[in-house]
């Protein structure tokens, strides 16, 4: 019998007495404590998703030269099984400028299998998030970073400008650990977090049980201010991806050779472009060599840029500008670390400038006054252009310098004020690197923190193990990465102080590159006919266009998450997060001009099934519905396609797009 409102009323009346009797007999429900004492600190319930939060008041300047205090915020996640915790896991964020607690879901996802026996602490570094985030409005809200507004930010901080570096932030973490009584810790850092973590290791080795550096670069080294591994790793990224793609590898020359004609054209004929990103935002910019440099160095979106640059550059030379221009527009949005709201709780551009201009070495002496520094900068660049003009090849040093300041690096601090208070040196002079167990994880398609950078960082530690994930991008152990391998190795290392068998690092599937961009389906290779196929070659080319349309929207959903977007040549789609991936709804999405695709695609994650039911409108009445399916996570997955186009029954297979 179905039971709606009348039955519910009856059930309520009959059960009220039983409920009351049971309640009287049952033991009282325990009331959650309002506070939790951990070590010397009393923690409170959080306003965030964390169970417990705490603060620790610290001197802004431990030497006392500059007065004042700073409140350091952290979150505490107790282990979930008795008795005592085996150890405490600490995660620290990249940037600099991002607060670690805003990445809590990523870190808790990595640590989840260990949380029964391990406590977790996540701290916002001084100047970020809830630890007194620096608010330099010109940096936080301006259209773009400039040398002038970076300098103005530094001047606005006055005597405190040098008091937000990684060394003092590391000392804050040590103080939090001591106050909680939870050391020694297992410390995980990603991206800039690896820089911070190495400084912590040098300053507080006794507080470490182990160290994981995911996407690492060293603290110093030969030619360091020029970032000598940056461009070689960028070139290798595209060349490696092409070599591992059958269609791209079949084209004579390297990927950089394929891209070179487009670069030449952009140098000779720059123009103003008005383009919509994959999320539908309109961007206006000058399409030139520097915009291509931003795409190739910036890696944002990482998957789409590697998948598409080679084919987009070839299309550009053939007169089809849209694929490359879309990447340029998307990258301009992707390399801006500031959130759309410009909230300092999400990212502090002021802290990023304070750390970038206080910690790493520059191509000029930061002790010089800014006017003298400008002269020294120009002289250093003139000498570099004469001695090593290919430092950032295939781009000139001048083209490279026109990238956003926080990606080109070498100019961003030229107007930062001379520190009134000497900064604490990130690397203590003569301090040996500790013999703590260290795992360094690199991706061989990462040019931000390259394999060479990871190797240099690992070489400093006597007990370091360096693992390189084939086909891995920047940061490889967090849930957004391309493979579960990095997370497995990190968790095994934390538990056992050894990764054990790390052969999975060589098994991450290669990136499947776009074979070519096409304006019509007729330009594409047809899908392969299966035994039951009755469709002609024209329909099988429409199948190929449908598959490539599917892959295009999936790559945008993976890059941007839930939300809306637009097709390369028209139409729209929306993506909704599911338990494992995304459900993407397409509305007349056009990857080619002549094939419009609607329907639904379910993408079940990096090693899951992809299934789509797609309605297709195509030339010569080849309209119909196709069922497409493939499985992610293998080296060369195959897609199967069935359905009807016009009067023809389709049964086909193809390399997964």
3-state secondary structure of 447: coil
Indicate whether 450 belongs to any domain: no
Dist. CA 588–CA 566, nearest whole Å: 10
Token output for 195:
């820089």
- In a domain, residue 553? The reply is yes
> What is the CA 416 to chain-centroid distance, rounded?
28
Q: Would you say residue 498 has pLDDT above 50? A: yes
Is there a domain that residue 122 lies in?
A: no
Q: Is the pLDDT of residue 278 over 90?
A: no
Residue 340 pLDDT level (bands cut at 50, 70, 90) = low
Tell me which H or E stretch contains 530. Answer: none
The lowest-confidence range among 373-382, 554-563, 645-654 is 554-563
573: left (phi > 0), else alpha (psi -120 to 50), else beta?
beta
CA distances to 57, 253, 404 from 259, in Å: 53, 10, 22
Q: Is residue 410 part of a domain?
A: no
Residue at 382 is within a domain: no
If you average pLDDT over residues 95-99, what whole number do you get? 95
Asked, for residue 394, whether it belongs to a domain, the answer is no
Determine the average pLDDT of the residues in 623-631. 97
Q: How many domains does the chain have?
A: 1
Domain presence at residue 562: yes
Phi-psi category of 650—alpha, beta or left, where left has phi over 0 and alpha has psi -120 to 50? beta
Residues 632, 484 contacting (CB under 8 angstroms): no
Show the domain range for 545: 521-655
pLDDT tens digit string along 370-399?
A: 999 999 999 999 999 999 999 999 999 999
CA atoms of 140 and 570, how far apart (whole Å): 33
pLDDT at position 477 over 50: yes
pLDDT (mean) for 222-246? 97
Q: What's the pLDDT score for residue 449?
A: 96
585-606: per-residue pLDDT in tens? Answer: 999 999 999 999 999 999 999 8
For the chain, counts of helices (H) and of strands (E):
19, 21
| Range in 16-30, 214-228, 546-560 with the lowest mean pLDDT | 16-30
In a domain, 585, yes or no: yes
């Amino acid at each position: 019998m179905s039971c709606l409102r009348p039955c519910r009323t009856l059930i309520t009346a009959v059960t009220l007495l039983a409920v009351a009797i049971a309640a009287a007999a049952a033991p009282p429900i325990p009331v959650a404590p309002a506070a939790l004492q951990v070590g010397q600190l009393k923690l409170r319930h959080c306003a965030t998703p964390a169970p417990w939060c705490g603060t620790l008041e610290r001197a802004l300047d431990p030497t006392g030269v500059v007065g004042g205090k700073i409140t350091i915020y952290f979150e505490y996640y107790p282990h979930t099984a008795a008795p005592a915790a085996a150890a405490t896991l600490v995660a620290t964020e990249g940037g600099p400028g991002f607060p670690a607690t805003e990445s809590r879901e990523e870190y808790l996802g990595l640590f989840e299998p260990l949380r029964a026996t391990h406590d977790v602490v996540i701290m916002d570094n001084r100047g970020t998030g809830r630890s007194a985030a620096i608010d330099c409005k010109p940096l936080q809200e301006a259209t773009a970073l400039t040398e002038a507004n970076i300098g103005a930010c530094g001047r606005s901080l006055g005597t405190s400008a040098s008091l937000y570096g990684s060394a003092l932030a590391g000392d804050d973490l040590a103080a939090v650990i001591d106050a909680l009584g939870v050391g020694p810790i297992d410390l995980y850092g990603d991206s800039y977090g690896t820089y911070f973590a190495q400084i912590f290791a040098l300053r507080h080795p006794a507080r470490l049980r182990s160290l994981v550096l995911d996407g690492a670069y060293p603290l110093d080294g030969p030619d360091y201010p020029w970032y000598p591994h940056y461009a070689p790793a960028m070139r290798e990224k595209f060349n490696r991806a092409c070599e591992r793609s059958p269609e791209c590898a079949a084209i004579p020359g390297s990927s950089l050779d394929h891209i070179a004609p487009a670069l030449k054209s952009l140098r000779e004929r720059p123009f103003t472009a008005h383009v919509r990103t994959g999320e539908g935002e309109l961007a206006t910019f000058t399409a030139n060599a520097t915009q291509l440099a931003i795409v190739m160095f910036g890696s944002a979106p990482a998957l789409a840029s590697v998948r598409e640059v080679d084919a987009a550059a070839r299309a550009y030379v053939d007169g089809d500008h849209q694929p490359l221009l879309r990447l340029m527009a998307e990258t301009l949005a992707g390399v801006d670390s500031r959130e759309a709201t410009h909230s300092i709780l999400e990212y502090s551009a002021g802290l990023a400038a304070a750390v970038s201009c206080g910690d790493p070495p520059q191509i000029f002496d930061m002790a010089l006054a800014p006017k003298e520094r400008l002269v020294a900068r120009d002289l250093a660049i003139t000498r570099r252009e004469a001695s090593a003009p290919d430092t950032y090849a295939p781009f000139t040093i001048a083209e490279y310098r026109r990238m956003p300041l926080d990606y080109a690096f070498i100019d961003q601090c030229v107007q930062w004020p001379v520190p009134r208070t000497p900064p604490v040196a990130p690397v203590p002079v003569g301090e040996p690197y500790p013999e703590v167990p260290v795992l360094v994880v690199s991706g061989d398609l990462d040019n931000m923190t390259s394999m060479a950078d990871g190797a240099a960082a690992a070489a400093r530690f006597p007990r370091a193990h360096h693992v390189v994930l084939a086909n891995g991008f920047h940061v490889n152990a967090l849930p957004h990465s391309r493979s579960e391998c990095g997370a497995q190795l990190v968790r095994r290392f934390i538990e056992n102080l050894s990764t054990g068998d790390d052969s999975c690092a060589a098994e991450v599937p290669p990136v499947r590159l776009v074979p070519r961009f096409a304006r019509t389906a007729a330009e594409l290779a047809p899908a392969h006919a299966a035994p039951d196929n009755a469709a002609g070659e024209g329909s099988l080319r429409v199948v190929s266009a449908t598959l490539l349309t599917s892959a295009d929207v999936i790559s945008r959903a993976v890059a941007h998450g839930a939300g809306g977007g637009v097709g390369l040549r028209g139409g729209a789609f929306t993506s909704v997060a599911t338990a494992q991936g995304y459900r993407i709804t397409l509305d007349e999405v056009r990857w080619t001009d002549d094939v419009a695709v609607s329907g639904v695609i379910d993408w079940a994650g990096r090693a899951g099934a992809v299934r789509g039911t797609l309605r297709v409108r195509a030339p010569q009445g080849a309209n119909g519905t196709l069922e497409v399916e493939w499985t992610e996570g293998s080296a060369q997955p195959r897609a199967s396609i069935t359905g009807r186009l016009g009067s023809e029954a389709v049964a086909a297979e193809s390399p997964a797009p």
